[in-house]
């Protein structure tokens, strides 16, 4: 089994940044052939790595440190007034934790979400192959946190990895036509509750970029911790 000392890493050539216009980015990948145990994956997450399908990566840009890893201490989290309103608006949602899988209901929601919210991105157009490679395939312990309305309609799914010390929020997709419920925020709140329920101290939210408005929601959960110069720093 591979550990941090024996892992090999590979850097990509420079490419267009996904977050900031007119910027070039580089990405550092863990050897995709390596077998990554849960403890090693957890250590990598503490160092700012993320997972996408079978790939574990982090930004590795030459002259930019804009991407900052964020995690929420689940047991210390205190919802804001607006987050309490989101919880209240969604008190009728039923939550179920299931094994990652492809089915037509999940895929149709995913396809609608990508087509409505990310038609200008590199995930468009959606496909069943993309769904499987991005959200189902992978060597890590993972789950789908399924959220259904009172009529049993599928509202949202949060794709989540289990770490030794927390949950890693991989991706969330939800009904793009329902703007009242703030389903993206509710999905994070649901993951925080799940972490508390199973006794895990953190929820890792991925990268926050100050200059990217789409990322601003990630530091609306307080307290949060930011990975700065290799150390997790609390912001309240």
Distance CA 169, CA 162 (A): 9
147 and 219 share one domain: yes
The CATH code of the domain that includes 224 is 3.40.630.30
Q: Which two tokens stand for residue 78?
A: 């205190």
Q: Is residue 212 part of a domain?
A: yes
pTM, two decimal places: 0.95
203 and 218 share one domain: yes
198 and 155 share one domain: yes
Q: Which position has the token pair 């972490």?
A: 195
Going residue by residue through the chain (236 aa), what tens digit of pLDDT does each one get? 678 889 999 999 999 998 898 899 999 999 999 999 999 999 999 999 999 999 999 999 988 999 999 999 999 999 999 999 999 999 999 999 999 999 999 999 999 999 999 888 888 999 999 999 999 998 899 999 999 999 999 999 999 999 999 999 999 999 999 999 999 999 999 999 999 999 999 999 999 999 998 889 999 999 999 999 999 999 99
Beta strand spans in the chain (E): 9-11, 15-16, 24-25, 27-30, 50-52, 55-59, 67-73, 94-98, 142-148, 154-162, 166-174, 202-209, 224-228, 231-235
Domain containing 55 equals 9-66
Tally of structural domains, the chain: 2
Q: Which position has the token pair 């700065």?
A: 228
pLDDT of residue 138: 87
26 and 75 share one domain: no
């Amino acid at each position: 089994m591979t550990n941090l000392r024996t892992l090999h890493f590979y850097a990509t050539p420079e490419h267009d940044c996904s977050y900031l216009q007119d910027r070039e980015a580089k990405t550092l990948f863990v050897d995709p052939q390596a077998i990554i145990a849960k403890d090693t994956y957890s250590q990598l997450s503490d160092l700012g790595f993320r997972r996408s399908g079978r790939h574990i990566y982090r930004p590795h840009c030459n002259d930019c440190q804009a991407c900052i890893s964020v995690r929420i201490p689940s047991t210390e989290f205190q919802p804001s007034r607006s987050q309490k309103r989101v919880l209240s608006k969604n008190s009728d949602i039923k939550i179920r934790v299931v094994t990652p899988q492809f089915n037509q209901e999940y895929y149709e929601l995913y396809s609608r979400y990508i087509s409505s919210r990310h038609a200008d991105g590199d995930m468009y157009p959606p496909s069943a192959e993309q769904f499987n490679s991005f959200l189902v395939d992978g060597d890590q312990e993972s789950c789908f946190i399924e959220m259904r309305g009172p009529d049993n309609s599928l509202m949202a799914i949060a794709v989540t990895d289990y770490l030794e010390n927390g949950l890693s929020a991989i991706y969330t997709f939800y009904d793009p036509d329902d703007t009242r419920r703030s389903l993206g925020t509710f999905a994070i709140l649901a993951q925080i509750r799940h972490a508390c329920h199973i006794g895990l101290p953190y929820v890792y939210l991925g990268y926050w970029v100050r200059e990217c408005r789409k990322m601003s929601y990630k530091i609306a959960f307080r307290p949060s911790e930011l990975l700065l110069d290799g150390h997790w720093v609390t912001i309240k």
